[in-house]
Structure 1
């Protein structure tokens, strides 16, 4: 009997790649959703699924809140998280919150397929190297787009400092900080400085 799997991720490429790998051996049937709302609707209409995989940073997730909603909706069947940016701490919190497992997007395809089968069988999957911190990336996908200076400014925003305070800390002009804040808001698709700080916190940026 084939496994029914729902993959929810806002990146088409990730969804298609995962589905391709999982459906290759003919043992699973994969359907996909692009955000949490769509995923929950599909669980309601076609579920429960043998396994639901949620991208940690897709729209609607609000951190682990989305995970809890999906676990409830999938009627006790496994729900796992996939992420390219989450840290070990988030993975630990997700498992504590009842996730069936945690898949870093850096996993090789073969490991990914095995992990999915493992979770669908009712086991909890957490990659040992990732959980031990050995594979903690030097920088996450989230940080790759940010310059070192932008990261410093972002940390200031997360500490709820004013532009003036950040400027003083970094020995820069206040106007320069203003520009960095503007760029950060654009890059992170944030409405304002508080929103930027929240997005960074959700992505596990420290």
Structure 2
């Protein structure tokens, strides 16, 4: 069963999404949030596989909310679901850590298949927005990383293993693995050597100590 958290400030939109998703059979809506802060708190408690994130919300927009959710639950797969056709927003959302970008006028069947795709580790993107993929693929600058991800990346650059990083930061090794996977996605690398090189180029303290 794929667990999903809905984040949208419109109750009717959330109700419609919940109604659709519950018909799928393999998708379980485990929470709803009307804003970014609430989404972060819920993500930490219910630990959803996929988060459907609206972009336009009062107070904290969906891009900032994506960062909050991923700080709280780095393993979440955030898929933006919005009315915006702006390719610049696609790039911003993906740099913030979202793995997919869908439009609200998508066919219901496409939405369901995209949720399944995201849960399997893929990156669903509305074909109409595919032009944004290239600029979005540029590695995120260090300030896009959470404070914890910067700590983990700095320790990777110093040659520490996941177990050693866990001891250094006082967190479980499995939590370190989640942070490592998340930051690898954000900076566009696939191994620790590349991550260490990226860190030395972008983090002032990397490799010291």
Same-fold status (TM-score > 0.5): yes
Contact kept in structure 1, 2:39 and 2:65, CA below 8 Å:
no
1:121 aligns with 2:101: no
Residue of structure 1 equivalent to 2:193: none
Q: CA deviation at 1:86?
A: 5.0
Contact kept in structure 2, 1:3 and 1:29, CA below 8 Å:
yes
Q: CA deviation at 1:78?
A: 0.8
Q: Quick one: structure 1 residues 60 and 123, their matched pair in 2 at CA, closer, same or farther if it must change by over 3 Å?
A: farther
Residue of structure 2 equivalent to 1:10: 9
3-state SS in 1 of match to 2:51: strand
Paired with 1:6 and 1:103, the residues of 2 have a C-alpha distance of 16
Contact kept in structure 1, 2:49 and 2:119, CA below 8 Å:
yes
3-state SS in 2 of match to 1:130: helix
Deviations 1:165-194 (A, max 9, x none): xxxxxxxxxxxxxxxxxxxxxxxxxxxxxx
CA-based RMSD of the aligned residues comes to 1.8
Paired with 1:13 and 1:63, the residues of 2 have a C-alpha distance of 18
Residue of structure 2 equivalent to 1:91: 90
Q: CA deviation at 1:97?
A: 2.6
Paired with 2:119 and 2:8, the residues of 1 have a C-alpha distance of 18
Contact kept in structure 2, 1:37 and 1:60, CA below 8 Å:
no
3-state SS in 2 of match to 1:116: helix
Q: Quick one: structure 1 residues 56 and 50, their matched pair in 2 at CA, closer, same or farther if it must change by over 3 Å?
A: same
Paired with 2:125 and 2:90, the residues of 1 have a C-alpha distance of 8
Q: CA deviation at 1:65?
A: 2.0
Contact kept in structure 2, 1:61 and 1:67, CA below 8 Å:
no
Which consecutive residues of structure 1, in runs of 5 or more, have no partner in the other structure?
134-206
1:65 aligns with 2:69: no
Which consecutive residues of structure 2, in runs of 5 or more, have no partner in the other structure?
133-209
Residue of structure 2 equivalent to 1:103: 102
Paired with 2:90 and 2:73, the residues of 1 have a C-alpha distance of 20
1:54 aligns with 2:53: yes
Residue of structure 2 equivalent to 1:43: 43
Deviations 1:22-54 (A, max 9, x none): 1102211112111112211211222x2101111
Paired with 1:122 and 1:15, the residues of 2 have a C-alpha distance of 24
Q: CA deviation at 1:75?
A: 2.1
Residue of structure 2 equivalent to 1:82: 81
Contact kept in structure 2, 1:60 and 1:66, CA below 8 Å:
no
